[in-house]
Amino acid sequence: MKIKLVRIASYAIGIGLVFLVLAYMAFFLAGRVTETEHEKIAPEKLSKAINLSAQYLIRSCDNEGKFVYRVNTNPDVVPAPKYNILRHAGTIYALADYADKFNSPRATAACKRATEYLKKHTISPLDEDTSILAVWTYPEMSGKKAPVQAKLGAAGLALVAFLSVEKIAPETTPVEYMRRIGRFILFMQKKDGSFYSKYIPSQGGRADKWKSLYYPGEAALGLLMLYEIDPREEWLKGAVSAISYLASVRSGKSDVDADHWALLASAKLLDIGKKRRKKIPQRIIIKHAEQICISILKDSNKCGPDSPGYGAFGSDARTTPTATRLEGLLAAKRFIPAEKEILLEQMTRVTDLGILFLCRSQIVSGTYIGGMPRALEPLPYVHPLFNVTFNRRATEVRIDYVQHALSAMMDYQALNGWQK
């Protein structure tokens, strides 16, 4: 009798577990359906987010043209007085794009101020060749104990910034002035297409001890934008050589770095090749771009669908790694061949979710409205990546966090044809 009752109880428990699993699956699938139905942001909500971020950057640009580089929404955390001139230039690039697309006089005025600040405080010739202009990083500005140096990426982004401003305020920067910066980029390029990352006078000039992931793509994009208004073959040749080198060293690798600047430069290069009928290594460029995109997709959606961080790249839900990857994917979507249907579908889904994540992360009220925090929220103590320093910085807002999010949102808007 006891054995029979045990069996009956076991059957009952088993049946109960089956119903529990089925109920859970029904709930989970129902949730997934709801999430799928709402996975694309409404155009008007995106437009509002774009305007909020642009207005934040405009307010952050003072009368001299310097941005409020970093703040923290937590009043107990006081940011160190540092300034990064590369991020200053990148912010001009995004804000000029906004001014161009939305016809904003206030954004245009801020870009002009920021451009003059960049020229006045950081740009001067090399001692060894005064026909070359470099963008210098000084320790009193950067807040770092490092020798005076000129960075390749700073020159690339300075060109990107100046040429973006030329679209909204022509003749802000003379072409010859920009040519001299272009010469610095070519001066830093090696015969194989790679670059020295830094020029440090106190250490003998071009330095090769440290290499940047992003500088080559930034330099290539700057050269290509210069080529568009000053069609000298040296600019195009330098950019093609830079991207071809990146493609060659990454060829055959299953995982490559999330080099969004290389994707932006590749999109520009392919567009120039098509419009101007230039012979460029199109197949190599596209294959390289596909490699980067596939690697980026592997890191997507690290937070589960029930998490506020869903759509972010990385389980810590930081905003800028997500925004930069979205910039790269959105640029590549313009030229990845249509026959790569599965890849394009994955890119579409990831960019849809990523934009939703950025808009959820944006500060929408108060003193820092329009700002983009470093992370969606501080990590709970039980999170495997919990770190006191991370949480102190999670509420930090820096101009490049806002800039990259703004660029990603505008790119997404344009690609979907939502811009009026």
| pLDDT range class, residue 308, cuts 50, 70, 90 | confident
The confidence score (pLDDT) of residue 419 equals 77
Q: Is pLDDT at 170 greater than 90 in this prediction?
A: yes
SS3 for 273-289 is: HHHHCCCCCHHHHHHHH
What torsion, rounded to 10 degrees, do the Cα atoms 370, 375, 380, 385 define?
180
The edge-to-edge listing of strands for the beta sheet with 205-207 is: 123-125, 133-137, 149-151, 198-200, 205-207
Q: Is pLDDT at 305 greater than 80 in this prediction?
A: yes
Q: Residue 216 sits in a domain of what CATH number?
A: 1.50.10.10
Question: Does any domain span residue 18?
Answer: no
Work out the burial of residue 284: count CB atoms within 10 Å of its CB; fewer than 13 is exposed, 13-18 middle, 19 or more buried. middle
Question: Does any domain span residue 17?
Answer: no
Phi/psi of residue 299, each to 5°? -95, 10
Tens digit of pLDDT for each residue in 208-232?
Answer: 988 999 999 999 999 999 999 999 9
Question: Does any domain span residue 16?
Answer: no
Share of the chain above pLDDT 90, in %: 80
Q: Is pLDDT at 301 greater than 70 in this prediction?
A: yes
Look at residues 375, 343, 361, 366 and name the one whose alpha carbon lies nearest to residue 409. Answer: 361
Which tokens in the block code for residue 164? 């973006």
Question: Does any domain span residue 21?
Answer: no
- Lowest mean pLDDT segment, chosen from 30-44, 104-118, 146-160, 357-371: 30-44
Tens digit of pLDDT for each residue in 5-39?
Answer: 334 344 443 443 333 333 333 323 333 333 444 47
Question: Does any domain span residue 78?
Answer: yes
The confidence score (pLDDT) of residue 420 equals 63
Question: Does any domain span residue 87?
Answer: yes
Q: What is the mean pLDDT of the chain?
A: 90
Q: Is pLDDT at 2 greater than 50 in this prediction?
A: no
Q: How many domains does one find in the chain? A: 1
Question: Does any domain span residue 112?
Answer: yes
Length of the chain: 420
Question: Does any domain span residue 378?
Answer: yes
The confidence score (pLDDT) of residue 226 equals 98
Domain that holds residue 54: 39-415
- Lowest mean pLDDT segment, chosen from 234-248, 300-314, 361-375, 392-406: 300-314
